[in-house]
Amino acid sequence: MAILRGEYKVQGGKLIRVLLEEEGGRIARIRITGDFFLHPEDTIFELEKALEGAELSEAQLLGRIQGVYRSAGASSIGASPEDFVRAILGARAWASRGSGSP
C-alpha cells in the first residue's frame, strides 16, 4: 500500500488537496480538502466514500465523481469534477516521480 499526496491549483486560484492510500492501482482510502466550496457540505464525505475502490483512471474517477454530484444534487464553486480527477491523478504522478509530495 502506498500513501500518496497531491495538490491541484484550479484556474482562478482554488486549491484541491488529496491524501490517499493506493493499493493495487485502486483507491483504498481518500481524504479531499482545499479551499473550494461543495454544496451540500456533507457531499464531500459521499464523494470520498464513492471513490474507495476506484481504479486510478481518469474515466472511472470522473464517472464516480459525476455520479455523486447527480445523486446528491451537488454543486461546487471553485472546482469541477474534472479538477478533482486532476488532483487525484496528480498525487499518483508525484509519487511516480519519486518526490513523495508536491
In the predicted model, is pLDDT for residue 98 greater than 70?
no
pLDDT digits 0-9 by tens, 28-59: 999 999 999 999 999 999 999 999 999 999 99
Domains in the chain, start-ordered, CATH in brackets?
A: 2-96 (3.30.390.50)
| pLDDT given at position 96 | 58
| pLDDT given at position 11 | 87
DSSP β-bridge partners for residue 31: 19
DSSP β-bridge partners for residue 64: none
Largest CA distance in the chain: 38
Whole-angstrom Cα distance, residue 43 to residue 26?
A: 21
**58-72 and 81-96 helices, crossing angle to 10°:** 150
